[in-house]
Structure 1
Amino acid sequence: MKKSTFLAAWLMLSGTAFAQAPITFNAKGLVAISDADLSASAMVDGNRYTTPGTRDQLTYVMFPLNRNGQSIGTANLSNSMALTDKVLAVNNNGRLGFVIEGRGQLSDSLGTIKGMADFPVTNTMFILDMSNPQKPAVKYKFPTGTGGLSAVTIAPNGTSLILASSEAGKELKLIDIDATGKPTRVLTAASPVPGVGITDVTFHPGGQFAAYTTAAGEVGLMKYVIDEKSKKPYVVAHGKPVKVGTMPGSGKFTADGKYYIIADGKKAPGTGGAGAGEVFVIQFSTDDTPADAKIVSQLATGESPEAVAISPDGSMVAVVNAGQSYQPFTNAAAGKSEVALFGLKDGKLTAGGKATIDGIAPQAVEFDRTGDNLAVGVAEYLDYGIRTGGIEFYKVTKGDQPSLAKQPGRISVTRGVHAMRVVN
């Protein structure tokens, strides 16, 4: 090819195919955490397949992206993909991050495990300064008592946290923080369901209530109250919880607070799979007079649902399903998972489009601020050699039966990504 012909062809391509960015996501940033301690298939065969020197990590992605590395910052901190995506909370301006460890790290020299019980239960919360997204840094390492932690949620005003715990009689930690994220007061409260551990907790958008999930598979609402005399917060059950299954994951409120969405995996992933799950729409009463929680609608999901996301306008729900992607690489089902969309109107779910993910154990999903795009955190891939996780992106077509199409680019992150939060 003549040089002039080649140049003309290159200019033509650069003005068409190269003009479109491979990733579109309408947000200021996206924060993710990764657990590098084990492969997803370790839950079946016990093999960790660790890479010496690779450590658990937080990644801060800034949009729009560029290829010179300046749009991504990282910090090392311990976390565990054995928990749900609610182990990460970020304040509204994205300057503070809160990560609960839940399970401690193991030495690289330990090649196999018998089960998740080999990872020590911990009660540590890491507080990060992310005011410089290119260099996020752990500012405080804060112990919260005994018993393992399972979830953290931050109030809309950014000054209060609630942590879910397995500590008997102190299943809830109520923590006030200052402008730097430093805890200024720590109080405890018993589970709204006496003697039952709390696995998930979520502040209501109004800030005066919080939803909780119990180890018995119930979802309920509690009122978050500030005592007029002591100015100390406390919580009180607000109506009775409702049973949603045997292995509910993490839940989220619609932006208007009318509905709470949560998926149930039915049973733990294993050698024989887990079967189809379900996604539930729950309605709580936030009136002064308590009312019992109730299920408004429910629909089947794919196998092993891991996390849900709700579009900002409340019209769509996304669910990521692990399927049997976590099986050892020699299994025919390994490496295939799914993201599915549902329409949501007046509390009723309708099935929408879905897409197969060529990746293992997606455990996190988030819409951007316009609801036009979706980010999915994938723990790892059927890769040999250097193994990473990834954040993949999908274009959303809105409607009563929404659909999605995969965007061509993805962000490589430390393997084991399992929680994400959007910064707008």
Structure 2
Amino acid sequence: MKPLRSAVLIILALLALATLLAWPREQHVPAGSPAAWASTPDNIARGAYLARAGDCIACHTARGGAAYAGGRAIDTPFGRFYGPNLTPDRATGIGDWSADDFWNALHNGIARDGRLLYPAFPYTNYTRVTRADSDALFAYFRSLPPQRQPNRAHELRFPYNQQIMLAGWRLLYFRPGVYEAQPARGPDWNRGAYLVDGLGHCSACHSTRNRFGAGGDGLDGGLIATLGWYAPSLTSNSEAGLGGWDREHIVELLGTGISPRGSATGPMAEVVARSLQHLTPQDLGAMAGYLKSLPATQAAPPDPGPPLGEQVLAEGRRIYETRCADCHGLDGKGWAPAYPPLAGNRAVTMTPAVNAIRMTINGGFPPGTRGNPRPYGMPPFGHELDDAQVAAVLSWIRRSWGNAAPAVSSTEVNRHRAPPVD
């Protein structure tokens, strides 16, 4: 092990040298005036809305804990992170922070004490947030009841727990920069882009990440490995590409969790419940318009592979007719929006089939929202169907009513049978 450790130390030294030679400069944008973060009703209300838009509560609130007091575990391939305390407690929260400290964390990814922050906090997106919005957020968080809850140290494996490694990562993958509007696109489009690419940090889930955890700015889809769900591409028409959707259907999906074209389930259901349903129709419309405008990526349809065997066909049909047809119909057309169609449903035919497997095994519900307060859900079948049976029924669905997707194997089902990580 000594030669390996020596090699790692040499790499760390080289990274340190590279960092000193080419450290990306921090950016500072001054506040308009101290009034920008003053505890006025207008600043607090605006900051509360922006916190909703950024879904800050999702990572900064432990299950059953006080809002924004931190402590929620965030598992990644590199170890476990814990969301910090954002309440104004002076000892454990941001009570001693200044508006500049808050801006520096949001925009530059640097803590008040100078430590580099890990991009599990998506400052790679938040760097686009304007100084005015940062100050309003700061005013809101400072208005919360202080919660004395010490922050938990991250539990990362070596060498990911070394700040010098993080410095090298930032050198390769991070450049601070405020969102720059494109005047030719108009205010509505720019507002949508600002929300999707900045505060909404949609690419944090909906982009492919490399082996070092860096994602692109695109929305080309990616597996959220530790959650066991696939965030589909928002540009590919074979996944969740929205170019062909009606704008009002996108607004319905984002604001209520259901629409004639699909439902939000899995991690997206939480995003809708805690964040998107609270946005104004104007902001949801701006996001929908921006998402519709993204250039579509054309991928070759997946090869469905050889025909299904007679035994798999018979077993898949039997399971579907006895357990699925009452809601989704013998013709696969369902009863939207309560029971979505399976015929032509890209969420069902997508590759990888992880989301369809998860839903079949664990069941699930769209979020309960103001627009859909009593959502219809799907019961779990994991306790009734073994891996081969789940694979058979999904394979049959993915080859019926004009669907032409690859079969699902029992091995693939078994891989995703474990419950998602909280």
TM-score by length of 2: 0.27
Q: Highest CA radius of gyration, 1 or 2?
A: 2
* Structure with the higher fraction of residues in strand conformation: 1
* Structure with the higher fraction of residues in helix conformation: 2
